[in-house]
Each structure stands twice: as structure tokens, then as C-alpha cells.
Structure 1
């Protein structure tokens, strides 16, 4: 049955009635190419307003990952002392481990017409404020991680001071976040081909005269620790999209093939992330902290160098527009009644000072710290919402999900929040960053197992609690 625009106090669909919080509804795109501003927020998208096919999920998840953030992440494996082949195995493994949950969660959008954080209300109830706030803050952090390279590329391309390049980058991505769902999908379709060509050119130049690291500098247990940390960093990139997953499938019709949605998302995320991180691994000797300068030098300057810098800036624009869009939905999920376009612009504005902070000192250390720290909460979140989803599906005995009915079920909020906090707490000793190395990570020679620990603890704590309240 079509989902109502209305929502109850828990944020899930309620009976048809005027929405007391109009900021959560609003104008929706009507068809592919409708680039007018989407003011629609976290309210469910009715079935009669859905459109598009699963193929658009490949491009929307491919283009935003062709950024220098991914390239720079690839260089980390070499910086930790691994050889090229070993670091590549770690990158592929970590990327796939992170992409699978994201692809699975993305199939929920067409079934519900609802974004990922709003859907988390089913599991968390009023406690969704905590993951909602973390997701909003994470979207701002990702603005900084990616805007750092995009702003640097613009500054280098046009001879601007760094702060001006970042300011222009943030303004452009904020504008796209304001336009919303269809504008982002359409941009990613175009940029999939343009950025793939640009990074192919960069790859060819890398293969010409730049050689990968054939032997590592770490051995034994230290090598194993560096492998796990490299794998975890790659995993964190792919898994960081999990709280966004259904945001970009919520306008797809309910009848859309879920296997095709899953594979299009998985291939989009994994192929793009592996490609750019491999590029970073190969060119680690020339791609230093000053990535824009490194790209320009690598391409020989001139028109080709300018083309490469423009590609870096456009890639950052593609990715950060999605951060601002999902950040706006997360902020509304916490109960703040800002119109979605205003919330998207706010996320872009707050990312600006964080970029300047990252650029002001040891960029490599601050980059790695922020990259890991913004994602430690996600594995627990994924475990909790997945368990809740499966339990609800079994209770429905194969019937289509009805958010109006699900929203009337009175379930406690504390099991999800308890498991969420327990997962993060258990993960702390296993964290390995420049800011903090837990005792377990130190004993494991720097190996960061925090993501896996958080997922397993959330699963083991939440599952029995959720089964106790399955009615």
C-alpha cells in the first residue's frame, strides 16, 4: 500500500493525516532529469511518486568514490611499510567487507521510500537521536576529508589561496546538496564517465616511469598489524556509506529488483574504491600530502595537469554533495525541523573550518585520525538495524513491509541504545589511530580490529534483547 507522508512521534509512517512538521515533507522530483529543488525531507516517498531503475545505483555509488581521498588512503598501506602486492590484498578485502553491508542496506530504500537514518527509528525508537547526531557530524567530517583535496586542487589550478579554493568547493557542493536527490543522481551519471576517463589518464601516467613498492619495510607481527590496519582503513571507506545507503534508493519503485539493486551498489562502491586505492598504492612515492601539486607534477603540468586538477575538484564535488544531502536527512531524524535544503547548506558551511584545521598541521596524521574516528560507530549501527529488520521480516511472514503498521508497535528503545553503546565501548581497546592506540591494538602490533569487534558485540548484545521483544 502507498506510504503516507505523515509520521508519528517515532518518525515512522503513521495514518494519513496532516503532517504537524511540514519541514519533513515538501516537493519531490517527479522523473529523471527533474532538477528543481527537492524540499522533501525524511517523510516516506509515496509509491506513486517513485521512478527510476536499479542501474542508477551503480553510477551514484561509483562516481563519488573517484576522489583523491581514496588515492591518499591507498598510499597509507605503503607508508605503514607494506609492499604493493600485500597492501593491494588488504585494500580489496577491506573494501569488499565494507561494501557488502552498504549494498544490503541500500535495498531497503525501494521497499519503504525512506532514508537510512529515518528507517533506523524502527530499531532505535527515540534513541535514534544518538546515531542521527553521529551521522550528521560524520557527514561534516567527510566534507572536510574530501573537501581538503578538492579545495587544494581548485587553489592550485587557479592560483588561489587554499582557503578560497575550499570556500568555492564548499559553496558548490552545498548548492548540489540543496538541489537534492535527482540533481545528485544526474551529476553522478555524467561524472561516472568523465571521472573514469580522467583517472584512467592519471593511471597511464603513473605506469609510465613510476614503479610500485616491491618490498616492504615491516616483517613478522608488525607486517600482520600493518596489513590489518590497511584493511580496516579500506573497510572504513566503503562502510562509511552504510548510513547513507537507502537515501539514494528511496525514490525507486517498490517492485525494483532487490538483487539488481544489491549488485549495482556493490559493484559501484567496490570497483571505484579499489581502483583509486590501487592508484595510491602504485604512486605512493609521488603522491604525498600535497596531492594537488603531486597530480599536477605527475601529469607534466600544462593542459593535462589542469585537466587532472579539475578532475580532482569535480570528484570531491560529487562525493560531498552526497554527504550534505544525507547529512540533512540525519539532522531531521534527530527531530530538528530545519527544511532539508537549509540543513544541507548548513553541513557544507560547517565543513569549511574543519578543512582549514586539517590543512594547518600534519595533514597525513590528521587525515588518518579523522578517517578512522568518524566510522567507529557504524558497525554497531549496521548490526542493530539489520537484526531488527530481519526479525520484523520474519514476523510479517513474507508480507510487504507496512511502515504505518510497524510504527504502531510499541517496542522499547533501550535495547538498541544499550547494544550501540556496548559495541563502541568494547571497540575502544582495539582502536589504532594517531590520537589513541588501545591496549589490544598495541598488543596486536597496531592492528585495528575495532570495526569487527563493534559489529560482533552489537550483534551478540542486541539479538537476544530484540528477540525478547519480537511481538
Structure 2
């Protein structure tokens, strides 16, 4: 194997597939076991909801978001393509730009947050100034992302066991150092805060959907949908729920606005020096998840460019796009000031609105309409069987988004239904069925039999010749 991954957004031939399906759990366990996840779990506690109701909201939200995310992961071994390229059959060669541009902003936003959290951690650990910490952290994460798929998987497997040990000690220590019965005593149920936490957790887990199959596309096709789903769900749900609960517990016991400081104080209350170990363990996870985001953003940027003007699909293009994404995220994190937690809460809310229709349409197409039957080559053809614009997918996306608007709750706009519910935002529960149902209904007029009949000829030499 080459040291640096040679592929980018192109198809991975069956002869190059490798790895074990159980390697998915450490990727997504560590994908969640870091400080940004910690911050997500502390949102409602910081806002004034007690620990009991906050914990239930975290568990429920993580379950909902992780189911959807794990379903997307099953597409990787089956198709051998990055997640975003798989949107072309639903939205069209050019129409898929809609979700790709949204995904790019998501990557850059998450990395800006991760870099800010890393700087806060390094300041707490060694007193390093913010700007050098952000830049150094970003460069280190970019190095891992540049090497690519294999080193990301290998690093996640090592760090997963370290983080498992740290979280286990923290959990046992919390039971012994604090009166858990008093902390978990149910208080006043505040619907708005409960739903904010529930959908923040769900949106956080759902946000992995835009690139989850990037990390399963090299697996052999025979691993199957069920195995890929279960290993991904177990890793992401356990890592996400556990880390968010740590954030909620830390925020409840030490109400510091800086979640990094709260984590260190709660861990030090168990035994001296443990706070330092928890921060170091979480910091390593922050490096690798930033690498995942940079890797995914580079593939998405390539997809955007390729839709406007076809480009060579290889390592050089991937590395060039990686540099552009790194510069964008560094610029944003260096220029971000104010309350990071508050900004992050608003950011997660936007993600729920934008990705709910996409995930519903993508999954409905894969499992109910085309049932996994696609032409790989046609996804790289502007004039192919999927067309430049797919009005069915775009219409379903617009309809799902519009249906969610009355349920929105943001600083700039509160929908009438959200206002009637006391500020509670349940838009995700509306957007999912509306988008999926409209898409499936519109696809009834599609000549699916004619499309499927063309696939054998289009993909005849797929395993021996490049897709373009």
C-alpha cells in the first residue's frame, strides 16, 4: 500500500477493498469521544435543565440521529464511493451542489469549533496562546488527513482503547466522588430545554451522515448492510451518548462556561491529576475528528469542483483541496470570538434544518426506490442517466424544508407552531417523513426499469478501467 492514499472521490475497485467490518466501531466511537461532543451534552444543563431530564434528552437524541447515520454507512461497502457523490442520483449532477455546499460549511464550522476547543485545552494544560495553538493543531490534523484513509482508521483504533479506559475511570470516579442520587433527582420538566438538547444530540449524530460512508467505502462489499449498520451504530451511539453524558455531568457539577475547565475540575474532584489525563485523552480525539472533517471536506470540495468542471481524480487533487479547506477553517476559528457554546448550539440547530430533508431523500432512494442499484459511471457523467438536475429530489427537499419552517426556533425566527409549543422545536420529526414520502411518491413516475436496463452496459468494465 502507498503511504499516501492515492484515491479521492473515484470508485474503489473490489480488488482494492480491505479491512474488517468491526473496524468501524473505533472510527465512530472516537469520532464522538472528544471535546466537541462534550460541549453538545452540556447545552441544556448550562441552560438550566436538571441532569435527569438532560440525560434522557441526550440518550433519546443520540439514538435517533445515530440510526440515520448508521444507515448511511451501509452505502459505503455497497457502492465504494464517498457519501456526497452518492447524492447525484437523487439530485442530479449539478443539483447535488445544493447539499455539497451545505456540507462544506458544516465541515468548516465543525473544524473552527474543534480548533477553538483545542486552543482552550492547550491553554488549560500548558498555557499556550490561542493563535499558535489553533494553527499548530490544524496543521497536525491536516497531516493525518493528508495521508488518508488507512492512517485515520489505524489511529482511531489505538485511541479508542485509551479513551475507553479514561471514560470508564471517569464514570466510576463520578459515582464515588459525587452524590449521584441527588444529582439525578428529577426536577421541573422544561419542554423547550429538553427538546433543544434532544435535537442538538440528534443533529450532532446526524451530521456524520454527510461523510460516514467515506470511511466504509474500502470495505469488501460482502460485509453486508446489517453488519455495517450494527458496528457503526454501536461505536457512534456508545461514544456519543457516553461523552455527552460526561459533558452534562461536568456541567451540572461545575457550572463553568468553559466546558474544558468544567471537565478538568470534575475529574480532579475524583483524584488529583485525573483532570489533566481526561483533557489529554479528549485532546487526541479532537485531533483525529478534525482530520476526519478535513478529509471529508476535501472530498466534498472536489465533488463541487468536479460538478462545475471535470478534474483528474487522484491524490494531488485531494491534497490541494485539503489545503484550501484547512485555510478556510483556520481563518474562521482565528476570527471567532464570544461564547463558543452559544454559537455551537445555534450551529447545530441549522444543521438539523439543512440535513434532515437530504438524509430522508438519500435513504429513501437507497432503500426503497432504487434499492442500491446504481450505475457508478453514470454518477460521473454530466449527461448520464441521472441528469444534470433531478427535479424529484430537489422538489422533495424544498417541500420538506418548507414543511419544517413553522416548527423552526432560531434567534432570528420562531415559527408559529414552535411558538405555540412554548418555543419547542420539533422540525426534524416533520422534515424526515415529509421529504421521504414526497420523494417516493414523485419517483412513481420515473422509468426505473429503463434506467436499470442501462446499468450493465455502463458499468461493464468498472473493475478494470477508471470511472472517467
Q: TM-score, normalised by structure 2?
A: 0.85
User: 1 or 2, which has the higher helix percentage?
Assistant: 2
Instruction: Encode CA deviations 1:8-61: one digit per residue, 9 max, x unaligned.
Output: xxxxxxxxxxxxxxxxxxxxxx4xxx6x11141111011111111101111111
C-alpha separation in 1, matches of 2:185 and 2:409 = 24
Instruction: Encode CA deviations 1:94-130: one digit per residue, 9 max, x unaligned.
Output: 1111111111111111111101101111111120011
| Structure 1 position 343 matched with structure 2 position 311 | no
Q: 439-448 or 36-45, which moves further after superposition? A: 439-448
C-alpha separation in 2, matches of 1:211 and 1:346 = 49
Q: How does 1:208-287 map to 2 (within 5 A)?
A: 208-211=176-179, 213-215=183-185, 218-219=188-189, 223-284=190-251, 285-286=253-254
Kept in 1: contact 2:83–2:210 (CA 8 A): yes
Instruction: Encode CA deviations 1:372-409: one digit per residue, 9 max, x unaligned.
Output: 22342111111111222235545x8xxx6542478753
Q: Which residue of 1 aligns with 2:361?
A: 384
Unaligned runs of 5+ in 1: 1-29
SS at match of 1:334: helix
Q: How does 1:108-257 map to 2 (within 5 A)?
A: 108-125=75-92, 126-211=94-179, 213-215=183-185, 218-219=188-189, 223-257=190-224
Alignment partner for residue 315 of structure 1, among 277, 285, 289?
Answer: 285
Alignment partner for residue 403 of structure 1, among 362, 376, 383?
Answer: 376
Q: Which residue of 1 aligns with 2:299?
A: 329
Q: 384-393 or 415-424, which moves further after superposition? A: 384-393
Corresponding residue pairs, total = 430
Relative to structure 1, the CA distance from residue 143 to residue 369 in structure 2 (aligned partners, 3 Å threshold; closer, same or farther) is same
C-alpha separation in 1, matches of 2:141 and 2:193 = 35
TM-align CA RMSD: 2.4
SS at match of 1:326: helix
| Structure 1 position 288 matched with structure 2 position 256 | yes
Alpha-carbon distance, 1:217 to partner = 6.0
| Structure 1 position 58 matched with structure 2 position 20 | no
Alpha-carbon distance, 1:437 to partner = 3.1
Q: Which residue of 1 aligns with 2:433?
A: 456
Q: Which residue of 1 aligns with 2:416?
A: 439
Kept in 1: contact 2:30–2:285 (CA 8 A): yes
Relative to structure 1, the CA distance from residue 108 to residue 316 in structure 2 (aligned partners, 3 Å threshold; closer, same or farther) is same
Kept in 2: contact 1:153–1:165 (CA 8 A): no
Alignment partner for residue 371 of structure 1, among 348, 370, 379?
Answer: 348
| Structure 1 position 76 matched with structure 2 position 49 | no
C-alpha separation in 2, matches of 1:278 and 1:391 = 35
Q: 102-111 or 438-447, which moves further after superposition? A: 438-447
